[in-house]
Amino acid sequence: MQADFTRPGREQVGSVIHVDDAGTKANVERLKLVVLHGDKIGEVIVIRGETTVGRNPNEPHAVSVSHPSVSRTHARLWRGDNGWYVEDCKSTNGTHVNGARIVGACALHHGDIIAFGSVVVETCCPTRSLARGDARNAVNRDPLTGLFTKQYANAHLEAEVCESYRRGRPVSIIYTDIDDMGALNDDFGRSAGDGILRQAARLFEERTRRSDVMARVQGEEFVLILSGVPLSICVRVGRRLLTALRDHRISPALPPGGVTASMGAASTQGRWLSSQDLLEEAQQATQLARSKGGDRLRVLSSSAANQAA
């Protein structure tokens, strides 16, 4: 379900928003809530003083969020002497900053990920353009591959994990590291290496669902977020991607099989994990796959045990 953020007299906006500090953390005078996902991408709500976030549209100085995971008075934002703060108002599902449930006031910094229930916001640099296309492309998309960015993936994963517990459905992820990328760059040059990353990204996107989120998180590392997918199917998807990458001639300079990857899969299936814990488990499984020679997918025993249970 998509959340609606409204201000009195304003249009409804989307479920993932972006909190933009207007200046440095100290002496900042306002927050801008900029929609980064949904029908109203680019919509801006400016907050200049103490503001509550919740489902109660009649409360003064409030941002109304029409989503069942958000309490009537969920949290409040205010500007102190040293910047902006957020505090949970004894909400049912809590307010989380960077994956941790907050107790009391929490100072906000650039790059923080905030979740009101399963509705996620993120803090970002104020120099970002607010134009509809610029917000989508410059903020959400990696300029080299066209995949989603690490920041967008973190926000999306946070929201999906919260939603998965509310709805009782799993979220699974596949973390991918292209094998021997450093050697490929040394042998064929950085431009060829960039081309390999672009081709791999295209191959991955062509073989996943439109609803899946594929992001480049750093260098030659990617993450695929699969909502509503159990671990067994996640593993099947990962192995299919491994085979496609191995069999595809990514570059004319390389034979088929010249580019492979190490993958790690993890899932919330049958247990409670934060989005950060889920990501770290997938990364550890990827490291295990790399230590075994690469060109394979691994799952940590904790995930496999919960799948069996």
The CA-atom distances, in angstroms, between 289 and each of 257, 263, 265, 285, 292 are: 17, 6, 10, 6, 5
Name the active-site residue from 158, 160, 163, 220: 220
Domain match, 57 and 196 both: no
Is 220 known to be catalytic? yes
Q: CATH number for the domain including 237?
A: 3.30.70.270
Residue 224 forms part of a structural domain: yes
- Supply the pLDDT for residue 262: 98
Mean pLDDT of 190-218: 89
Tokens at 74, concatenated: 């969920």
- Supply the pLDDT for residue 34: 55
Domain match, 75 and 99 both: yes
Residue 283 forms part of a structural domain: yes
Q: Is the pLDDT at 175 greater than 70, yes or no?
A: yes
- Supply the pLDDT for residue 74: 93
Domain extent, residue 96, equals 5-140
Domain match, 215 and 75 both: no
Residue 78 forms part of a structural domain: yes
Domain match, 126 and 52 both: yes
Tokens at 195, concatenated: 């081309």
Q: Is the pLDDT at 135 greater than 50, yes or no?
A: no
Q: CATH number for the domain including 109?
A: 2.60.200.20
Most confident residue range from 83-97, 193-207, 240-254, 271-285: 271-285
For the chain, what is the domain count? 2
This prediction's pTM: 0.60
Mean of the per-residue pLDDT values of the chain? 78
Residue 32 forms part of a structural domain: yes
* Tens-place pLDDT, residues 102-133: 988 988 776 566 778 877 776 543 333 333 34
Q: Is the pLDDT at 14 greater than 70, yes or no?
A: no
Residue 145 forms part of a structural domain: no
Q: Is the dihedral of CA 230, 231, 236, 238 positive or negative?
A: positive
Q: Is the pLDDT at 190 greater than 70, yes or no?
A: yes
Residue 100 forms part of a structural domain: yes
**What DSSP assignment string belongs to 124-142?**
E-TTS--SHHHIIIIIHB-
Instruction: Identify whether the C-beta of residue 140 lies closer than 8 Å to the C-beta of residue 34.
Output: no
